[in-house]
């Protein structure tokens, strides 16, 4: 039996849990810029750096040995599909902060991914209790197209913030745009406020 605690993302508890302008799909579409990278975990590492007390570089072996959480959440993609009831398992963003120890002037993060991709988030939202670096989805390892070996999942924001093929997180003082934000997606991306495109 899996003893890993399950965190229920708050948005799944709403009476009407589908945000405005969204349609529920049973599928799990694949969306990203560029080609799917095939990542060998043996050559992969996770870096926590920038404004932190103790910068870390973790091998895959070290990363998977960190304490785990499970999160039950809904996915809301800006292209209007939502996929309800996803179960993720991985390492809480909070766990990464606990070991890297962000400095008081760290107020934002850039989550970096393979090939130069990044997504920007306020530190507080990155550290939401339901945010994690996921290794599995519905009990199975992520597939390459969904971000193997590790992807970010930030349930309360549109799914473009949930970087696939993550290579690390950088703690910064000032907000700078990530990949999709720099080509016109909203800087924040709250699905309940329909922060889809533009500022």
Ligand X SMILES: Nc1nc2c(c(=O)[nH]1)N[C@H]1C(S)=C(S)[C@@H](COP(=O)(O)O)O[C@H]1N2
Convert residues 24-63 into a mask of x (bound to Mo ion by CB under 5 A) and - (unbound): -------x--------------------------------
Site for ligand X in 65-84 (CB under 6 A): 77
Find which of ligand X, Mo ion, none residue 162 binds, CB within 5 to 8 Å per kind: ligand X
Asked whether the beta carbons of 189 and 158 are under 8 A apart, the reply is yes
Site for Mo ion in 131-160 (CB under 5 A): 160
The count of residues interacting with Mo ion (CB under 5 A) is 2
Near ligand X by CB under 6 A: residue from 60, 63, 126, 160:
160
Of the candidate spans 5-13, 54-62, 160-168, 189-197, the one that interacts with ligand X by CB under 6 A turns out to be 160-168
Site for ligand X in 113-132 (CB under 6 A): 113, 117
Distance of closest approach, residue 104 Cβ to ligand X, in angstroms: 29
Q: Which residues contribute to the site for Mo ion (CB under 5 A)?
A: 31, 160
């Amino acid at each position: 039996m899996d003893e890993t605690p399950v965190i229920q993302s708050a948005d799944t508890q709403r009476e009407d849990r589908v945000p405005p302008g969204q349609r529920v799909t049973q599928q799990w579409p694949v969306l990203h810029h560029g080609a799917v990278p095939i990542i060998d975990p043996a050559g992969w590492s996770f870096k926590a750096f920038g404004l932190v007390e103790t910068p870390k570089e973790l091998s895959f072996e070290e990363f998977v040995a960190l304490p785990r959480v499970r999160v039950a959440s809904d996915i809301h993609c800006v292209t209007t599909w939502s996929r309800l009831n996803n179960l993720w398992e991985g390492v809480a963003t909070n766990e990464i902060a606990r070991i890297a120890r962000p400095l008081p002037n760290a107020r934002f993060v850039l989550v970096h991914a393979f090939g130069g991709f990044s997504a920007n988030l306020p530190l507080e939202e990155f550290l939401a209790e339901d945010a994690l670096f996921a290794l599995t989805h519905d009990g199975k390892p992520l597939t390459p197209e969904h971000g193997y070996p590790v992807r970010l999942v930030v349930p309360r924001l549109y799914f473009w913030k949930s970087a696939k093929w993550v290579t690390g997180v950088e703690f910064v003082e000032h907000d700078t745009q990530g990949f999709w934000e720099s080509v016109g997606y909203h800087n924040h991306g709250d699905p309940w406020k329909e922060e889809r495109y533009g500022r």
